[in-house]
A and B are shown apart, each in its own frame.
Chain A
Amino acid sequence: MSGDMREVTYRQALNEALAEELERDANVFLMGEEVAQYNGAYKVSQGLLDRFGPMRIIDTPISENGFAGMGVGAAMVGLRPIVEFMTFSFSLVAFDQVVNNATNMLTMSGGQFNIPITFRGPNGPAHQLGATHSHATECLYANFPGLKICTPATPRDAKGLLKTAIRDNNPVLVLESELLYSSKGMIEPADQELLIPLGEAELKREGSDVTIICYAQTVPLALAAAEALEEEEISAEVLDLRSIKPLDLHAILNSVAKTHRVVVAEQDRPYCGIGSEICYRIQKEIFDELDAPIARVSQEDVPMPYNERLEKAVLPSAEKIVAAVKKVCDA
């Protein structure tokens, strides 16, 4: 990296990515609820309407199925839509368009129609929003071949992954996180192109005793857990997947071959979860490297309760990760 790194928020980083790609390619446009005049429900699209005008920054009615489908149609003719879901909980209203139209089209048309569309917005539980508004949707979407999924946890990853997603010729979900929008991190200078490939995990912290595999909201939790574990003289490696699909199996296996113990920290629910898939792959490839059964920390398998204490009991936390690591290390 050259030039002076600077500190930005996750929100700003996303905003930069959008602005740069809108600037770079006239086929790119942004569409969604409150993205234009209101500058985004979470202010990610701040200033973009002023800069790019109403043909490229489009406010929609509350019609997720309609505008997601409109995005797919526009992509069929070669535009590169960025569709914002106010949250991915509302993407469930548009599930059919994302899955059946965006994702299946290339295969169904015998390779004639690729769909270069980005669906983005906050995903995963925020704080006490209750069952309808707290969905982590990555497991759901990960089940569909044809879709790529990334889950940035830092400003740098947010910018680099979003830019790559917009340039990708396939439907890509950029699953952001409401709880991370105001978090800060270091990032390359504004004039330096920042692209992070999909499907590349990153070691957020090196360690030797255990690998904590995490993504999105569980990255800061895993880092906090690793810090706490240091006091107990357990050296934890924190591997941020960054992309759910494609999955960086290589990075996972490398780390596990080094530490021999694994905890998977997921923000989604356990059943048919990302962690299940990872556990399967690890034992299939390098069973002999494991010194202990793999532990998983995920949500409890219940619809999200509103009550704060119960919500906390449902969600993964640094404490739960610490406990899982200790168990794995004691084994």
Chain B
Amino acid sequence: MSAPEQRDEVEMLALMLLIRRFEERASQQYQAQKIGGFCHLYIGQEAVVVGAIAATRDDDYLITAYRDHAHALARGTSANACMAELFGKVTGCSRGLGGSMHYFDKARHMYGGHAIVGAHVPLAAGIALASKYRNEDRVTLCFFGDGAINQGAFHEALNMAGVLKLPVIFICENNLFAMGTSVERSTSLKQIVDRAEGYDIPGFIADGMNFREVRDKLTEVVEAIRQNSHPAFVEIRTYRYRGHSMSDPASYRTKDQLEKYRLDDPITRLRAQLTREGKLSNEQFDVMDKHAKDTALASVTFAEKSEEPPIEELYNYTYAP
């Protein structure tokens, strides 16, 4: 397959808006106790996954950790299926069996939603191995947090991806914290991207608050991989506005730090860029934002009205037929 046409930036902005509005709704529904378990919000990090989507094809593989709502939405999983999953309904993207941390959408090449930190990084290498095995030119996008880079599974996977020259991009969403632990306190490195050097994997850095920078950097990396299969590592510097999960007050960081990143908001920035260039009017933006809000709200109604998974199905998914 040839390179995709550049995806429309206004559409990408709409996607970022949808993710944000969806998560705001999810947060509200969590507080109303419509959602159980853990719920980790992505608000602030939207340009990372959307930038990656803008740089790749729909048939490229994607896999991520438990902060996964955005990754499914970005892949085209409907807001309805995403919200229904949070509500534990059978119409959810994992039939209500996975929950917030375990989103899956095979049809859209979204390989999960993985809640054991670092455990999906070898899976990404395995998916990429299959691409190479079958002579496909598909790349695997593997997202994880800064906390994951200290797991053994991560290191073993990077090494094997390096040895076997697998077409996988390891994307570290460095939001400066793993739960309450800052990167400086967890990681013996000057900068995260240096991890790649140890495995002779090309490493790059991008500003995760800047959609265009993420997209352009990844576009370059993806094209190089399609030409000639190899792994790459991209450290994307970003920030989560909310606590680690809904129950974390995030008292380990300063208001000033949060404010600094909020002022650098990825949605505001792309909007300003497009407006300045005459590609987006205020009216258009308002329509888009309203659409995102309506979609998020409608997903709540959809989730509420959906059925629970039937009790009789309890044993249906323990073994494949």
Bound CA–CA A65/B180 (angstroms): 20
Bound CA–CA A127/B36 (angstroms): 7
B114, B148, B181 pick with most chain A CB within 10 angstroms: B181
Contact B115 A41 (CB under 8 A): no
User: Which A35-55 residues have C-beta < 8 A from chain B?
Assistant: 37-38, 41
Of the 9-residue stretches A1-9, A239-247, A259-267, A302-310, which lies at the interface with chain B? A302-310
Bound CA–CA A128/B115 (angstroms): 13
Contact A131 B102 (CB under 8 A): yes
Which residue of B is nearest A129, CB measured? Answer: B37
Contacts of B178 in A (CB 8 A): 61-62
Bound CA–CA A37/B114 (angstroms): 26
Contact B38 A133 (CB under 8 A): yes
Known: A130-B101, A132-B101, A306-B102. A93 touches B151 (CB 8 A): yes
Contact A309 B150 (CB under 8 A): no
Partner among B181, B185, B311 whose Cβ is within 8 Å of the Cβ of A310: B311
Known: A38-B180, A133-B101, A313-B314. A306 touches B37 (CB 8 A): yes
Contact A132 B102 (CB under 8 A): yes
Contact B315 A302 (CB under 8 A): yes
Contact B181 A306 (CB under 8 A): no
Contacts of B187 in A (CB 8 A): 61
Interface string of A132-152 (1 = CB under 8 A from B): 110000000000000000000
Contact A90 B116 (CB under 8 A): yes
Of the 9-residue stretches B92-100, B163-171, B282-290, which lies at the interface with chain A? B92-100
Q: Does A301 contact B (CB under 8 A)?
A: yes
Q: Does B162 contact A (CB under 8 A)?
A: no
Bound CA–CA A314/B147 (angstroms): 32
Contacts of A131 in B (CB 8 A): 97-98, 102
Rounded to whole Å, the gap between the CB of B308 and the closest CB of chain A is: 5
Partner among A62, A128, A129, A302 whose Cβ is within 8 Å of the Cβ of B118: A62
Contacts of A64 in B (CB 8 A): 151
Bound CA–CA A41/B243 (angstroms): 13
Bound CA–CA A131/B114 (angstroms): 11
Contact A128 B318 (CB under 8 A): no
Interface string of B93-125 (1 = CB under 8 A from A): 010111101100000000000111111000000
Q: Does A59 contact B (CB under 8 A)?
A: yes
Contact A307 B150 (CB under 8 A): no
Known: A130-B115, A303-B318, A305-B97. A313 touches B152 (CB 8 A): no
Rounded to whole Å, the gap between the CB of B158 and the closest CB of chain A is: 15
Contact B37 A302 (CB under 8 A): no
Known: A65-B152, A93-B151, A305-B97. A310 touches B37 (CB 8 A): no
Bound CA–CA A61/B118 (angstroms): 12
Partner among A41, A65, A66, A308 whose Cβ is within 8 Å of the Cβ of B179: A41
Contact B150 A61 (CB under 8 A): yes
User: Which B65-96 residues have C-beta < 8 A from chain A?
Assistant: 88-89, 94, 96
Q: Does B202 contact A (CB under 8 A)?
A: no
Contact A93 B116 (CB under 8 A): yes
Partner among A63, A301, A307, A313 whose Cβ is within 8 Å of the Cβ of B96: A307
Known: A302-B314, A305-B97. A128 touches B185 (CB 8 A): no
Contact A34 B179 (CB under 8 A): yes
Contacts of B318 in A (CB 8 A): 301-303
Q: Does A209 contact B (CB under 8 A)?
A: no
List the count of A-B residue pairs having beta carbons below 8 Å apart.
119
Bound CA–CA A321/B185 (angstroms): 47
What secondary structure prevails in chain A residues at the interface with B?
A: loop
Contacts of B37 in A (CB 8 A): 127-130, 133, 306
Contacts of A61 in B (CB 8 A): 147, 150, 178, 181, 186-187
Contacts of B186 in A (CB 8 A): 61-62
Contacts of B148 in A (CB 8 A): 62
Bound CA–CA A66/B151 (angstroms): 8
Known: A62-B150, A63-B151, A93-B151. A305 touches B115 (CB 8 A): no
Q: Does B126 contact A (CB under 8 A)?
A: no
Contacts of B315 in A (CB 8 A): 300, 302
Which residue of B is nearest A312, CB measured? Answer: B311
Contacts of A132 in B (CB 8 A): 101-102, 114-116
Q: Does A33 contact B (CB under 8 A)?
A: yes
Partner among B116, B180, B309 whose Cβ is within 8 Å of the Cβ of A307: B309
Q: Beyond A133-B115, A305-B314: 11 further Cβ-contacts under 8 Å?
A: A34-B179, A89-B116, A130-B99, A130-B101, A132-B102, A132-B115, A132-B116, A305-B96, A306-B94, A307-B96, A308-B36
30 contacts between A and B (CB under 8 A): A33-B179, A33-B181, A34-B181, A38-B179, A38-B181, A59-B181, A62-B147, A62-B148, A62-B151, A63-B150, A65-B151, A66-B150, A66-B152, A128-B99, A129-B37, A130-B97, A131-B97, A132-B115, A132-B116, A300-B315, A301-B318, A306-B37, A306-B94, A306-B97, A306-B99, A309-B88, A309-B308, A310-B308, A310-B311, A314-B314
The 8 closest A-B pairs by CB, nearest first: A306-B99, A128-B36, A307-B88, A61-B150, A128-B37, A38-B180, A61-B186, A307-B96
